[in-house]
Amino acid sequence: MTITTRFAPSPTGHLHVGNVRTALHNWLWAKRFGGRFLLRIDDTDLERSKEEYVTGIRADLAWLGIVPDGEERQSARFALYEAQFEALKAAGRVYACYETPEELDLRRKVLLGRGLPPVYERKDADAPVPEGRTPHWRFKLDHDALIQWEDMVRGHQKFDPKLLSDPVIRRADGSWLYMLPSTIDDVEMGVTDVVRGEDHVTNTATQIQMFTAMGAAPPRFAHEALLTGSEGKLSKRLGSLGMDAFREHGIEPMAVIALLARLGTSDPVEPFTDPQPLIDSIDFARFGRAPARFDEAELAQVNARILHQTPYEAVAERLPAGMSEAAWEAIRPNLERLSDAGDWWTIITGNVSATIDAEDRPFLSEAVQVADGLDWSGDVWPALTDALKASTGRKGKALFLPLRRALTGLDHGPDMKALLPLIGRERAVARLRASI
């Protein structure tokens, strides 16, 4: 059996971090077993679905390196849904209903007021049809068939169908709701494993009966705990954190993958520069039931750690013009985002402004003479500091900090042993002279 997973977003908005986590886990799971990962665009809502969002979904997945092995559009599959709908209706598993939303809401309140579960009450098949009303359609659950499955995250799951409402599968205007088309597609697309959020658990219970009614074996299911914000409660902000926001803030795609792959598991988040270790290690048995906490600060830390081990050739085309491998190696340990490389390149090659304490100016005047007389083909920073230590008696911070300030305009930064040769004799001597 070829493991086949799917990611099924609705193109009614941009992907956010929760969507991407679902897509990623489906992709990792399929790749672990040499299977197939499919993209299904759930665009049955023709009014709200926009082609710009379809384009955006594809672009976001491509940026992350998540490449589908196939793509389907639900809007191109209406004939398939119609045929299966008619077959289920003929088998007595689909029936017409005529209540208005207001009537249904009133009935739910009555049941709750009596301490009863607000389960839809089926009407007698011979009940008169209200005049002038167009029906909506429900799937008829088999109340005698206990629903149960082994969830890859949640373990054994069991539902009494008598405590579930028959789900509405089609509106009065003929448009489809999520439940039946999704089930039909999973059968027709050969989906073997469905990975999604725990908010779909009840949907799964009813869909399992849909699979059975169509004569198909249900796929395996993994229902993951939902993401929460760093403040420890469900965060509305998570719904607005899209891939465009990460790109704008200089987050590397592998940082997003490395963090989201492990959130909710017992495995540590590690700064992988290649997804293969994440593919090899994904195991839904290692996912917990507690909400998984997404923290933008943690993402930034992972991003920095990834950059610190990224080779020059992997980023050369994205670096400032003229930046050499030696410069990349020098500044890399100080980067939080790749865009910071431009700032450091300006410090190396451009003009800097330094604030120098009055007591340090005589020392820097001595540094001008020493620096100008050094052999710059060798290890120039140790030569400079050793000579100044001998001639001025300064050491430690009093020796190194004024030099760094004068040469870079900052009190911190990359190792000066690597940075000074990149600045070069002419710029270094000019900067030291300007500081006095």
pLDDT mean across residues, the chain: 94
Residue 191 predicted with pLDDT over 90? yes
Q: Helices marked H in 197-241 — which ranges?
A: 201-213
Report the run of H or E that residue 95 belongs to, with start and end: strand 94-97
pLDDT of residue 132: 85
Residue 271 predicted with pLDDT over 80? yes
> Residue 351 — φ and ψ, nearest 5°?
-100, 145
Residue 234 predicted with pLDDT over 90? no
Confidence of residue 126 (pLDDT cuts 50, 70, 90): confident
Query: Exposed, middle or buried: residue 313 (CB in 10 Å: 0-12, 13-18, 19+)?
Result: exposed
Confidence of residue 249 (pLDDT cuts 50, 70, 90): confident
- Percent above pLDDT 90 for the chain: 90
Residues 344, 347, 349, 353: what is their CA dihedral angle, to the nearest 10 degrees?
170
CA-wise closest residue to 216 among 194, 193, 184, 245: 184
Confidence of residue 128 (pLDDT cuts 50, 70, 90): confident
Q: What angle do CA 165, 169, 171 make, to 5 degrees?
A: 115
Residue 334 predicted with pLDDT over 70? yes
pLDDT of residue 292: 87
Tokens 């911070």 correspond to what residue?
397
CA-wise closest residue to 300 among 273, 275, 341, 335: 335
Higher pLDDT, 249 or 234: 249
- Structure token digits, residue 10: 């609705």
pLDDT tens string 204-225: 999 999 999 999 999 999 999 9
Which residues contact residue 110 at a Cβ distance below 8 angstroms, ignoring those fewer than 6 apart?
Answer: none
pLDDT tens string 344-376: 999 999 999 999 999 999 999 999 999 999 999
How much is the pTM? 0.90
Residue 232 predicted with pLDDT over 60? no
Domains belonging to the chain, first-starting first, are 4-70+182-226 (3.40.50.620), 80-170 (3.90.800.10), 236-307 (1.10.1160.10), 312-349 (no CATH), 358-434 (1.10.10.350)
Helix, strand, coil percent values for the chain (each to nearest 5)? 50, 10, 40
pLDDT of residue 54: 97
pLDDT of residue 1: 84
CA-wise closest residue to 53 among 20, 21, 7, 12: 12
pLDDT tens string 276-292: 999 999 999 999 999 88
Secondary structure (3-state) at 7: strand
DSSP 220: E
DSSP per residue, 120-140: PPPPPTTSPPPTT-PPEEEE-
Confidence of residue 235 (pLDDT cuts 50, 70, 90): low
CA-wise closest residue to 307 among 344, 278, 262, 273: 273
pLDDT tens string 372-414: 999 999 999 999 999 999 999 999 999 999 999 999 999 999 9
Residues 260, 266, 270, 274: what is their CA dihedral angle, to the nearest 10 degrees?
-60
Which residues contact residue 114 at a Cβ distance below 8 angstroms, ignoring those fewer than 6 apart?
Answer: none
CB 432 within 8 A of CB 406: yes
pLDDT of residue 36: 98
Report the run of H or E that residue 194 belongs to, with start and end: strand 193-197
Confidence of residue 109 (pLDDT cuts 50, 70, 90): very high
Confidence of residue 229 (pLDDT cuts 50, 70, 90): confident
Residues 255, 40, 25, 21: what is their CA dihedral angle, to the nearest 10 degrees?
50
Higher pLDDT, 127 or 158: 158
CB 225 within 8 A of CB 291: yes
